[in-house]
Amino acid sequence: MSFYLLSVDLVESIHDEVLNPGELPGRALDKSLEGAMARVDHRLAYGMIDDVFELAATYAVVIATGHCFNDGNKRTAFRTMQTCLEVHGVELDWNTEETGQIIISTAQGLTDEGDLADWLRKKAVDA
C-alpha cells in the first residue's frame, strides 16, 4: 500500500491553526519537528507500518511525545492524525471526551502506536 505522507510544513501549519489567542506560537527551541517526523519515515522504511491507521497513530505519537511546539502539542497531534486519515479517505466517529483522553494518554507515553491504531480502527465509519 502506498501512503500520502504529511510534510513538516503541513504539520507546522496545523499547529498554527490549533493555537488559541494568547498561547505561545512556534517551536520549542530544544526540540526538532524534523527529527520527530523522521521517526514516521523510519518506521515505514523498516516495514513497521501496515495500514493508514498505524500511519496516523504514528504521526500522533511522534508529535504528542516529541513536544516540538511551545503550546498545542496534543491538539496538533490529534489534528495531524485526523488529517492523515482524511487524506486517505478514512472517516472516524469522534467522541470528544474519549478522544481527548486517548491523546493525553498518548502524550504521557501510556498509549503507543499499536494501541492507538487499534482504537482508530474501532472508530472508523464504514462507507
Q: What pLDDT, in 10s, does the model give residues 63-106?
A: 999 888 878 899 999 999 999 999 999 999 888 899 999 999 99
* pLDDT in the model for residue 127: 46
Q: Which of 89, 86, 118 is nearest to 102 (CA)?
A: 118
The pLDDT of 5-26, averaged and rounded, is 85
Map grid coordinates 491507521 to a residue: 53
pTM of the model: 0.91
Neighbours of 79 (CB within 10 A): 19
Domains of the chain plus CATH, in order, are 8-16+29-123 (1.20.120.1870)
In SS3 terms, 71-101 reads as CCHHHHHHHHHHHHHHHCCCCECCCHHHHHH
Which 3 state secondary structure label does DSSP give 114? Answer: helix
The pLDDT of 26-53, averaged and rounded, is 87
Which 3 state secondary structure label does DSSP give 3? Answer: coil
